[in-house]
Amino acid sequence: MWPFADAVKARASSFMCAYQRINGSYACQNSKALNGLLKTELGFDGYVMSDWGATHTGVAAIEAGLDMDMPGGLGGYGMNWKAGSFFGGNVTKAVNNGTLDVARVDDMIVRIMTPYYWLGQDKDFPSVDPSTGDLNTFSPKSTWVREFNLTGERSRDVRADHGELIRKHGAAATVLLKNENKALPLKAPKSIAVFGNDAGEDTQGFYNQDDFEYGTLTAGGGSGTGRLTYLVTPLEAIKARARQDGALVQQWLNNTLIIESNITDLWVPNVPDVCLVFLKTWAEEAADRQHLDVDWHGNAVVENVARNCNNTVVVTHSSGINTLPWADHPNVTAILAAHYPGQESGNSLVDVLYGDVNPSARLPYTIALNGTDYNAPPTTGINTTGWYDWQSWFDEKLEIDYRHFDAHNISVRYEFGFGLSYTTFELGDLAAEPVVEGITTVPEQRPVEPGGNPALWDTIYNATVPVTNSGDVEGAAVPQLYVSFPADTTPAGTPPRQLRGFEKVPLAVGETKTVGFALRRRDLSYWDVVSQDWLIPAGEFTLSVGWSSRDLKAFTKITPVQA
């Protein structure tokens, strides 16, 4: 619930209901979810739109809280406009024949138009660029079912300093997972070998490829993909940097060749100073991942390179988790999870590889030792054949990601929140003080605002901890605050630890800063199914601060409500 509450409080203008059913009814006509939770409990005053083709009825969906049917037609993805619409003229008919209250139609209109004014679209808001129609697709133009003719200036350049910005973001989002013997940052190596189909140019263009085997992966596919105006590949950026150092760069981008060859027969004349291996994992809507390995036999690529090169650095571009079975190979000296870095991919990576940027990103998920250790394996049409395999029973309850691994004491490869730096940091003593008196178990019932009951957002404790850069280069620490609830006064299944805050803190060499965490009432509450409210349990909480979910260094205890 809380991520949705955060979005509502941040004044998101619209929510989208998806394709699944909730307790037997379609999400786009589930009144409990749309009217009860979203619009009433969380106080959402914008509009709810359907995912493309997720509308299945007219009046029933409207009364359940659906405000906008997208894209408006029937058939596959709702894009057959000639066949009619669940909404459209049927809304007028429903009002006229008395099956739909006109007050609900007024509510739909107000909800749809409120964001229009809230976002200033009535005040010199730029018109839609006509070239948007050309770009807003992830399928060839020959397959379009409808083309929109827009007027006005085409192909406006709105990039400004985007290239500089995305380069910084790409470097800042790169997670350093392994760095043995200080393999990184690179120290002007004179012989560099580049391996893997993820290193070079996209040989079939950025979009609408028949096969994504060759070319670096900068963004995921589907309707949420990004549009590149240019691309700096890892290989291109590495060559540019190598020229400054007078270094030799050799490359092999065919994974099959790499796997089937004696690697020592490829490079000239000797073992390179560093072997950079680039792996990728493709994902998009309608092409979900079938496993948690890298694609195109990437594991075998790493094994064959590392067998012959004692300084193998692996870079992954992926939408999320890769299990990395070769992570403990003694010749794999460094691993970087670069995710989807955008069009400055190569430059942002080279900034990290050579130490121009000190890596500071942290994992937003757990990397398990085995794919079977997860309690929610990938579910796709290829690997899922059981009648109930598509049914989510939510048996995991609150045990999602690190909370599952912690609850069952499962060893992991890299834990949630993990990430290395080129420097070192130290934490001082953790302190926590209440900022209000008379904290009660039950929150005060106030009029609902966007985000829900305002009382749940009140800060009731402040926690502070000093952080010091104890290394020899500047960097950014990421202290993370975890909360452990009283075991004897909270429901069974409450996770052992739950993340309640984190901060990225830039620090010069030897510098110390005090980091503060505001703990709100919601952060110390659990959902009570009997009272149907958020309650603070009586008893002692443990607050922990550290560098990941399993690397906790500073602790203190608080008792908001006496037992």
DSSP string, 397-412: TT--THHHHHHTT--E
From residue 203, alpha-carbon distances to 92, 233, 252, 383 in Å are 52, 12, 14, 30
* Residues contacting 532, CB < 8 A, separation 6+: none
Q: Note if the bond before 71 is cis, omega within 30 degrees.
A: yes
Residue bearing tokens 């009272």: 531
Amino acid at 95: V
pLDDT tier at 16, thresholds 50, 70, 90: very high
What sign for the dihedral angle of Cα 391, 393, 397, 403?
negative
Percent of the chain as helix, strand, coil, to the nearest 5 = 25, 20, 55
220-248 confidence digits (pLDDT tens): 777 777 778 899 999 999 999 999 999 99
The catalytically annotated residue of 45, 51, 245, 273 is 51
| Residue 234, φ and ψ in degrees, nearest 5 | -55, -45
Extract the tokens encoding 55. Answer: 């509308």
Output DSSP code: residue 454: G
Extract the tokens encoding 198. Answer: 């993820």
Residue 3 has pLDDT above 90, yes or no: yes
d(CA 46, CA 40): 12
d(CA 166, CA 228): 11
pTM confidence score: 0.94
pLDDT of residue 145: 62
d(CA 549, CA 364): 11
Write out the residue limits of the CATH 2.60.40.10 domain(s) in the chain. 424-558
pLDDT of residue 141: 67
Q: What is the dihedral of CA 317, 475, 500, 169, to 10 degrees?
A: -40
Region of poorest pLDDT, from 161-165, 308-312, 383-387, 511-515: 383-387
Q: Give the DSSP H/E element, type plus range, for residue 195.
A: strand 191-195
Write out the residue limits of the CATH 3.40.50.1700 domain(s) in the chain. 163-361
Residue 250 has pLDDT above 70, yes or no: yes
Nearest Cα neighbor of 68 from 117, 8, 108 is 108
Cα angle vertex 271, ends 267, 277, to 5°?
70
| Residue 51 annotated to the active site | yes
CATH 2.60.40.10 correct for 424-558 = yes
Residue 494 has pLDDT above 60, yes or no: yes
pLDDT of residue 332: 99
d(CA 293, CA 176): 19
Extract the tokens encoding 397. Answer: 């309850």
pLDDT of residue 427: 98
* CATH class of the domain whose range is 163-361: alpha beta
34-69 confidence digits (pLDDT tens): 999 999 999 999 999 999 999 999 999 999 999 999
d(CA 158, CA 318): 28
d(CA 545, CA 465): 8
d(CA 464, CA 457): 19
d(CA 111, CA 14): 9
d(CA 407, CA 351): 38
